[in-house]
Amino acid sequence: MKKPFSRRSSRLIALVAVPLVAVTSISVASATSWRSSTHSAAQTATHVISDPSTLRVRQQAGGGVFYDAKTRKVFVPRGADYIRVAQNALHSTFVNYNGREASAAMAKMHAEGYNVIRVYLPYYAIASPSSRTLNPTVIANVANFLRRAQAAQVKVLLTSDGLPSSPAWSPTPLAQSVDPNSNVFNPSELSLAEIQIQDLFTGLAKDRAPLGALFGYELQNEQDFAYSLMPFEVPATKTVTVSALTTAGVGAPSTFTINPDGTTTLLKAASSGKVPAVGHVTPTYRADEAYVGWTKPATTAKVTGYRVTVSFSSAYTAMHTGSQVCAEPRRNLVKTVRTTHIFLTGLGMPYLCSIKTTDGRTYSLAAKNHRTQNAATVTQMESQNLLYWQNSLANFTHRLVPHLLLCLGTFPPMGATLGVTSLPQVDLSKASKVDFVDMHFYPSYGGSVKGHPTLQQNFAAQVRDLSMKPSQITKPVVMAEFGVWKPSPGAPGKWVVPNAAAAAKELQQWQTISCSVLGLHVDGWMVWTWDTSLKEKTPGSWAMTDGGGAIARALSPKFRPNACRA
């Protein structure tokens, strides 16, 4: 789970140094001896790292299964996400690392019959701050965690959240694209991802980490595209002026700018006149997908609506001079709305004529309203490059660690937030070389607010939204994230579950339903999260340990050996 743009935008701001802590006695001498090669990763991925894992996948229509090649027994992954939060950083498990705490959590999981735990690599701390190398302390902490997981008889799904945010890991810019889209479209980012994978597993091997403790490696958590950013559209600064329309006349204006990075700057908030200016104006997302909201002015006059004027400026910055713009934005837009918000969507934003992407092709985007007229080209560009990117990483990693299971995390299109989309049909296709797919099906993605009042209807709607027949899905599908909201500041009210007992009941039903939905059979489950508290993260989800472990017991393999039966 992540907020849109939260990882990528961090590269645009100065990073605060984060202290790395290991709460156990860990020797990092071996970890400090390795460094990234100066050669291209593709040329140096010839060294094969021993991987004693015996887990394999068996493909079948509707979703494959996992099995142990040694015992020939089916392996059904069931567990939780293990998330630590520190200094406003979501995935600090290996930053402020506490090995004893991790062991205690895995021991409790094992006692309930769980066999998998999912953890994240900290993109903001995994790299050395001044060189293109990985941080040996983080690698040592990951190695220690794998040893503890092996002792607890729990497999680990190790998840990447993207390239390190260290300046030394900055890719060669692609003039036509920015993050998160350049993750797939920029060949420089693909090369860096290969270097990161090579250095990660080389470092773990030199630290004598038991790679057999891995269930798999997730190439990316929730891979997505942002339509409000290049190459789909060129971010522009917007000046927004809002005035209240009242029975006493037009209110004093409030003027703000919405900057390309999503921030706002107050220019003027007038206070003269019969009706004062509206209250604070804030955007939710950036560029042309911005949702702008404000508060009512304090006035005795009846407010009948709001006049909103949007002006564009600085449409094209020097950062992207290597590209040709095929459309300029409208200079001004004036709208009258009744509610205290407006969506600034599709307002004649500029876009690029063409872009040459990672797959070596050049895609033409030269058409007015290209998001609709060039829909086929845009979809082809996304799908071809997403497939090329994941297959390149899969081939590279399998040359390095031959039997390591690889997956890619994503969400159903119904789960996309404003301005963001996913293409799970690419990951699920037979052309993809990842071994299995991590689909984040959440009840809130298709809830009653979208016209699907029951959990069964909700899940079916999300499966239909995959835009492919379940019979075409042959690789295993796991839900390495699913959960429900708990009452907390910022949680979406319509989807909040009041207590741990109710959350346990809903998640048990959701798990059972997932076993067979329109011919799709999910074959693995990890709850978000095991024990993350509201003190660490808010808004938050119900943790498995909340309510005396209500969710942990309700989903426990010890008491429910068959996850598909209530």
How far apart, in Å, do the first and last CA atoms of the chain sit?
26
- In this prediction, residue 329 has a pLDDT band, given cuts at 50, 70 and 90, of low
d(CA 562, CA 301): 63
pLDDT at residue 35, as a whole number: 32
- Residue 448 CB neighbours (<10 A): 14
d(CA 438, CA 526): 10
- In this prediction, residue 106 has a pLDDT band, given cuts at 50, 70 and 90, of very high
Min mean pLDDT across 222-236, 295-309, 341-355 is at 341-355
Question: Is pLDDT of 479 > 90?
Answer: yes
Widest distance between CA atoms in the chain: 81
- Structural domains present in the chain: 8-227+374-554 (3.20.20.80), 237-350 (no CATH)
Are residues 543 and 495 in contact, defined by beta-carbon separation less than 8 angstroms?
no
Are residues 281 and 240 in contact, defined by beta-carbon separation less than 8 angstroms?
yes
pLDDT at residue 281, as a whole number: 64
Are residues 485 and 5 in contact, defined by beta-carbon separation less than 8 angstroms?
no
Burial class (CB in 10 A: 0-12, 13-18, 19+), 498: exposed
- Cα angle 173, 179, 185 (rounded to 5 degrees) comes to 65
Tens digits of residue pLDDT in 384-433 = 999 999 999 999 999 999 999 999 999 988 887 656 788 999 999 999 99
Tens digits of residue pLDDT in 17-69 = 344 544 443 333 333 333 333 334 444 555 678 778 899 999 999 999 999 99
- Enumerate the H helices of 361-470 as residue ranges: 370-373, 375-400, 424-428, 455-464
The set of residues, in sequence order, having a beta carbon less than 8 Å from that of 180 and lying 6+ positions away, is: 5, 7, 8, 224, 225, 226, 229
Give, for 104, the enclosing helix (H) or strand (E).
helix 99-111
22-42 per-residue burial string, b: 16 or more CB within 10 A, e: under 16? beeebebebbeebebeeeebb
d(CA 322, CA 175): 5
Tens digits of residue pLDDT in 491-547 = 888 889 999 999 999 999 999 999 999 999 999 999 999 998 877 777 789 999 999
Average pLDDT for 466-488: 95
Quickly tell me which residue has 């209110």 as its tokens. 251
Are residues 243 and 278 in contact, defined by beta-carbon separation less than 8 angstroms?
yes
pLDDT at residue 288, as a whole number: 42
pLDDT at residue 350, as a whole number: 61
- Cα angle 462, 464, 467 (rounded to 5 degrees) comes to 115
Burial class (CB in 10 A: 0-12, 13-18, 19+), 156: buried
